[in-house]
Amino acid sequence: MNGQQIIKLFYTSGITILRDVYECSPYDLAGDLMPLNTARKYTRLADVLFGPADSPKVQRDSVALAEARQLSLEYLEMVNKHAKKLQKRGAAWRLRAELIAFEGTFEEVEAYAKKRVTEEGGDTKKKRGVRVGRAIDGLRTISITDTQRRITDLEKTLDAAITNADQPRSEALLEPFWDLVEGTGTGLIKPEYRTVIAIGLEDYAKVSCGKGEDVIVALSDGTTMTGAEFINAAMEGSLGDKLYVGLFHPTAGPVNLYEARFASEKLRTWAMAENLVCPWPDCNVPADRCQVHHIDAHKHGGHTKPSNLTMLCKYHNGVNNDAPDGQRNKHKPGKPKRGKPNRGRMRRHRGKVRLQTPGGKLVSNTDHVSSMGAMDLI
């Protein structure tokens, strides 16, 4: 039995595993097998599926269906994570049954689960405020929740005061944060939008006529703003004295040709307008903090032109496979692979930048800001 078969067996035996786990203490499972936190997670899930329930018939039928469908531990954990948000008697088990019966990919089921939880009123919205954690090993944590605009303005202020770019970002932001709090810094920076704003022509026409209250535009700092906020920023001069207009073709992408080695400010602006956050799937690093990336590497003949450029965060720019045709993974049979693992590479497909996995799949970033870039507006 090869590794793939072993993984498949594990991922199709969720109910069988949890039925045995129900008879165990988390302390029996923990130790050499797994961390105590993981053991507790599995025993809690087993208690939900096989312990006392407010809807025993729905519970029995759901467990039987989950076993028949050979659902994985991970799938069942995801179902329970969303269903337990519903507090009304019987509601959680009705949703578990609905999600166990729902046919689709893991991601499709999770997206549907989030939608159903919201419809049932079980998703608690974040509240603005400051929270201070308890002391652990002499350290404490403070977290601030406020509007995205205020937090982003604070982030830009701290970014501008970083003195050591080689430090991890969380460490580099600490001293600028305390300088600001203690009054020894320069104060909050009034934002000036060298940040790129992507807006379609129809929405721009609405906003310009003062009818864009319901228009939402996305920015390359990872946030969004309403049409009214867009107009206010323009009136206050926050958008600067220059407005750049990028032309995008529905299938070719950004239109224009440049042969310079490094992307000019204009080319960088174009790339940011197309991808307001790093386009690597599941990444939400804003384009303001990304690097300009050649889709076809310059060292392999790739040109510095709009259609060959995108924005990638520092990490994904580093792991992107720049070798043409995946040459990095070529090796002699029987010998171990060497070097970096192949994570895939960015490709432009039908006008849009997507990740091409080592297996050949084309995957888009589904972050909500990523789906509001210039190529999504035409």
Q: What is the pLDDT along the chain (378 residues), one digit of tens a residue?
A: 566 776 777 778 899 999 988 888 888 888 777 888 888 999 999 999 999 999 999 999 999 999 999 999 999 999 999 999 998 899 999 999 999 999 999 999 999 999 999 888 887 777 899 999 888 888 899 999 998 888 888 888 888 888 888 889 889 999 989 888 888 766 666 555 556 777 776 777 676 666 666 778 777 777 787 777 776 676 555 665 555 556 566 766 665 433 444 456 778 888 888 899 999 998 989 998 898 899 988 778 888 788 888 999 989 998 898 887 655 444 445 544 455 578 889 999 888 899 998 888 899 998 888 888 888 877
**Owner of token pair 């096989």:** 50
The total number of structural domains that make up the chain: 4
Same domain membership, residue 69 and residue 11: yes
Same domain membership, residue 136 and residue 108: no
Distance CA 175, CA 185 (A): 10
Buried-state track 14-35, b at ≥16 Cβ within 10 A, e below 16: bbebbeebbeeebeebbeeeee
Domain range enclosing 201: 197-235
| Domain contains 241 | no
Tokens matching residue 90: 């019987």
pLDDT score recorded for residue 329: 45
76 contacts 45 by C-beta, under 8 angstroms: yes
Distance CA 121, CA 135 (A): 34
| Domain contains 293 | yes
Same domain membership, residue 267 and residue 227: no
pLDDT score recorded for residue 108: 93
- Residue 231 corresponds to which amino acid? I
User: 216: closest CA among 378, 372, 352?
Assistant: 372
| Domain contains 291 | yes
Tokens matching residue 241: 């004295």
Same domain membership, residue 258 and residue 202: no
Tokens matching residue 299: 């060292």
The number of C-alpha atoms within 13 Å of 327 and in the hemisphere containing its C-beta is 4
| Domain contains 204 | yes
Same domain membership, residue 76 and residue 30: yes
| Domain contains 361 | yes
| Domain contains 304 | yes
| Domain contains 332 | no
Distance CA 285, CA 288 (A): 8
